[in-house]
Chain A
Amino acid sequence: MRAARPDIPALVAGLALLALGSVLLLDALGLIDLGFGLFAPVACAVTGAILLANGLSRRA
């Protein structure tokens, strides 16, 4: 039986949101201080990774 191929954009989006959630959890636990200087690059990276994976998947 052939294994189902993973949905790359969904996988990237899930991992990116997982990373964002981890950062927010660390902030809530007081382990890091999540100011704008840290949140802005993380938010940009998450959104950028999702968009890039989605756009590249359209080529196929």
Chain B
Amino acid sequence: MRRDHAAGWLGGVCAGIARRYGVDAALVRLAFVVATVAGGFGIVLYALLWLVMPAGDSVRRSRLPSGRGAIEVALGTGLLLISVLLAFRGLGIWFSDAVAWPLVLIVSGGALIWRGSATASPAPQEPPTAPLVRGEPEQRPIRPEVARAAAAISRTGVGVALVILAGFVFLQATDALSAARDVILAVIAVVVVLGAIFAPWVLRLFRSLTEERAQRIRSQERAEMAAHLHDSVLQTLALVQRRSTDPQEVAALARRQERELRAWLSERPAPGKAAALAPALEAAAAEVEERHGVPVEVVVVGERELDSNLEALVAAAREAMTNAAKFGAGSPVDVYAESNSDTVHVYVRDRGPGFDPGALPPDRHGVRESIVGRMERHGGRARIASDPETGTEVELELPARADR
């Protein structure tokens, strides 16, 4: 389960949960609002989930200018707002100093906190820079993510300070500060005492959660890489062994694999890669047909643009077709895909001797990682039904919301 920044409003937690379980994100948001109103539990739960859930691969890009431009826009907007308020005050159109100025501070602080939380998300990796000229002193690599995180934290800190200042200004202007002073002092004392007692545990918990999250992301990336290598390089090597008597065929296989691997390593789309579901499935079927000499029939109902989740679905379907071609005793392979507003289904079926999915050896990654694991990592699921009489059917399901 991953946070979905593209469809999210705040941190993408509700959208991520909705995407994972195929429910409407508005219902999840409503549940969090109800839990928040009913005692504040919703906010705590949201914060915990934000910490625990890894970020999705779709990162929302800010439409605002960044760097110096953002500072100028923020200062300019603030000054214009202040000029309007001062003009209203000068003209006598004024309600109360006790409300207006704290409101300005809260809006400014809230904007800074919002901006800080939006830019704290990891941005896509920049391509590697050109190598340094020989003879130049070696420079330390620039880490933009560190600079971004530091800027976000400092912005958030200033924002929090402005909001607290707004509270004090309001209390002072309404003469409530003197009355509330004893209460505030008591609260500060309790917070300091509790902080001194629990800070080490909270800090350790935060670090362990962060480390666990990083480990989970690393593990998922490793599994994704293993699945890709299994589907591409290992299968090509197996084909090379099988066709070692035909040097031209072996050379063609090696060239194709090299092109595909180079495109994958440089994060470019593979040569001839389709942009929609139906052509992508047909291309995968044609490739399996060509490699294994088994007819693969594809029927697709409904069309959809490919994104990273649907690419994973096509890769899982391609692996299921390869398995059907390899182990289906030469029987034709049928692929049926259906895409509607809720889900995308792909069925891959052969009439071979079948197998026991529970009895697969642990070192075989084809079904476990390239099909089942891959679908789960992208918010979908895979079901395998196999019978010696009727053959094997692999059902792949991906919620339509997962492709937003």
Contact = CB atoms under 8 A, between A and B. Distances in A.
B90 A58 contact: no
Nearest to A50: B76
Tell me what chain A mostly uses at the interface: helix, strand, loop, or mixed.
Answer: helix
Contacts of A49: 76, 80
B82 A44 contact: yes
A52 B83 contact: no
Contact of B79 (A37, A38, A44, A58): A44
B77 A45 contact: no
B75 A48 contact: yes
Interface in B77-94: 77-84, 86-87, 89-90
Contacts, number: 72
Given A41-B87, A42-B83, A51 B69 contact: no
Nearest to A51: B76
B76 A58 contact: no
A39 B15 CA distance: 49
A47 B79 contact: yes
A5 B20 CA distance: 49
A42 to B, nearest CB: 7
Interface string B78-113: 111111101101100000000000000000000000
A58 B75 contact: no
A50 B64 CA distance: 17
Contact of B83 (A48, A50, A58, A59): A48
A43 B87 CA distance: 11
Contacts of B82: 41, 44, 48
- Most chain A CB neighbours (cut-off 10 Å) among B65, B74, B81: B65
- Most chain A CB neighbours (cut-off 10 Å) among B70, B75, B80, B84: B80
Contacts of A48: 75-83
B80 A55 contact: no
Interface size class of A (residues with CB under 8 A): 20 to 34
Nearest to B79: A48
Contacts of A40: 83, 86
A48 B79 CA distance: 5
B86 A58 contact: no
Nearest to B75: A51
Nearest to B71: A55
B90 A38 contact: yes
Given A45-B79, A48-B77, A55 B72 contact: yes
A58 B72 contact: yes
Given A45-B80, A48-B78, A55 B86 contact: no
Contact of A55 (B70, B87, B89): B70
Nearest to A37: B90
A38 B68 CA distance: 30
Interface string A19-60: 000000000000000000110111111011111111110110
Contact of A44 (B67, B68, B83): B83
Given A55-B69, A55-B70, A58-B68, A41 B75 contact: no
B183 interface: no
B65 A59 contact: yes
A49 B72 CA distance: 10
Contact of B69 (A42, A45, A50, A58): A58
Interface of B: 64-65, 67-84, 86-87, 89-90
11 contacts: A41-B82, A41-B84, A41-B87, A43-B83, A48-B76, A48-B78, A51-B72, A52-B77, A52-B80, A54-B69, A59-B64
Interface of A: 37-38, 40-45, 47-56, 58-59
